[in-house]
Structure 1
Amino acid sequence: MKQIDYIKRMDRAELRKQMIISQFILILFSVGGSVLFFESFFVCWKEMFVWNIEEIIYYGVLPGFIIVMVDWFLTYTLPAKYYDDGGINEKLFANQPVWFIVTISILVALSEEMLFRGVIQTTFGYWVASILFALVHFRYLKKPVLLVSVLLVSFYLGYLFHITDNLVVTITAHFIVDVLLGFFIRFKREVWMR
């Protein structure tokens, strides 16, 4: 059985559990990678988490909203089949409580940005991190529009980290994208039913 078929067969509870486990595995890889590759574990992480509000708003919040607006535009202008991920995101976010969408969005943004920007980009470079980020979203590999979309977002987030050296910026942008798209999936039925 293909991995994507296995994911489709999971019920909501199992999918949520697997999603949370996978994010904690990414955090463990981040910690392990930083121990292997960073000169000083705590100093390097401290230097990458900068709480500069202006930078966070300009390079994190605004790009997050830009990504979501472009995604929504494409969602409404392209045929639905191009954005069909096999119902995985629908299964993960539809009918979920708001607290779950916010929590999972924070966890995903934190774990993925720590690994891909914090460890991989810092150690192996912008291109490697951006391409690996897209490839980890394996369910999009046979969906050209979704693959190009996640690849462009990955390069954009990588660029934001490149110019700021600030994980708070990319975590913020990533969180905004995930939480707003999660809310869109969660609330679209209610809006359309009116």
Structure 2
Amino acid sequence: MRLTDQAQLIKQMSDREVTKHLVYTQLFIFLFAIALSVFLFDAFFSDWQQLFTLTFNEWLFYGILPAVVVLAIDFVLMASLPKRFYDDGGINEKVFKNQPLTKIFFLTLIIAFSEEMLFRGAIQTEFGYIIASLVFAVIHFRYLTKVVLFVSVLCVSFLIGYMYELTHSLSVTITSHFLIDFILALSIRVRK
């Protein structure tokens, strides 16, 4: 499917349908992370448990601070670049524009949790930082023809992957991923 075809398909779908597909995709990503880790990890439960340890300082310095920096850069770019550079085909607007705050909170938490479980928890733990960061960026294929969006996702992927390299904590990466997605989703809702 070409990206222009995808954009047309998204326009024909209701907000509810797009959100439902997003949730199904995240459920698939989460289940795939679990299945992959069953085959890759030596001690499934203890390996996952170790990935969620952290200190408050790590959480603050490696989870929250990078998210604030990414958001500041994103907001500066969004204010200074034409809107077409940040147009993702309408998916993010369909998902977040008309949602209540609680639903935005839970959707972005589900996204951050499932994607970090797969990309940092399973893939980066077993295959390394570069592979996980590149796969994360490429999986956001709708950004491939949008240079600013793709470079942004690629940079964020490498940044979050690096935070994981430093801490080996999914709590850190989930926090950072969640804050970025949640604040950006809120900004979409506010702009409506």
User: If the length of structure 2 is used for normalisation, what is the TM-score?
Assistant: 0.95
User: 4+ residue stretches of structure 1 with deviation over 4 A?
Assistant: none
Separation (CA, whole Å) in 1 of partners of 2:128 and 2:7: 29
CA displacement at 1:169 relative to structure 2:
0.2
**2:154 is equivalent to residue 151 of structure 1:** yes
**2:99 is equivalent to residue 96 of structure 1:** yes
Percentage identity across aligned positions?
A: 47
CA displacement at 1:6 relative to structure 2:
2.5
Equivalent residue, structure 2, for 1:117: 120
**2:181 is equivalent to residue 178 of structure 1:** yes
**2:58 is equivalent to residue 58 of structure 1:** no
Work out whether residues 19 and 94 of structure 2, in 8 Å CA contact, stay in contact via their aligned partners in 1. Answer: no
Work out whether residues 123 and 132 of structure 2, in 8 Å CA contact, stay in contact via their aligned partners in 1. Answer: yes
CA displacement at 1:50 relative to structure 2:
1.0
Which one of 181, 184, 190 corresponds to residue 187 of structure 1? Answer: 190
Equivalent residue, structure 1, for 2:80: 77
Separation (CA, whole Å) in 2 of partners of 1:77 and 1:123: 39
Which one of 33, 36, 40 corresponds to residue 33 of structure 1? Answer: 36
Supply the RMSD in Å over aligned alpha carbons: 1.1
Separation (CA, whole Å) in 2 of partners of 1:4 and 1:134: 19
| Number of residue-to-residue matches in the alignment | 189
CA displacement at 1:4 relative to structure 2:
4.1
Equivalent residue, structure 1, for 2:47: 44
Separation (CA, whole Å) in 1 of partners of 2:8 and 2:122: 31
User: If the length of structure 1 is used for normalisation, what is the TM-score?
Assistant: 0.94
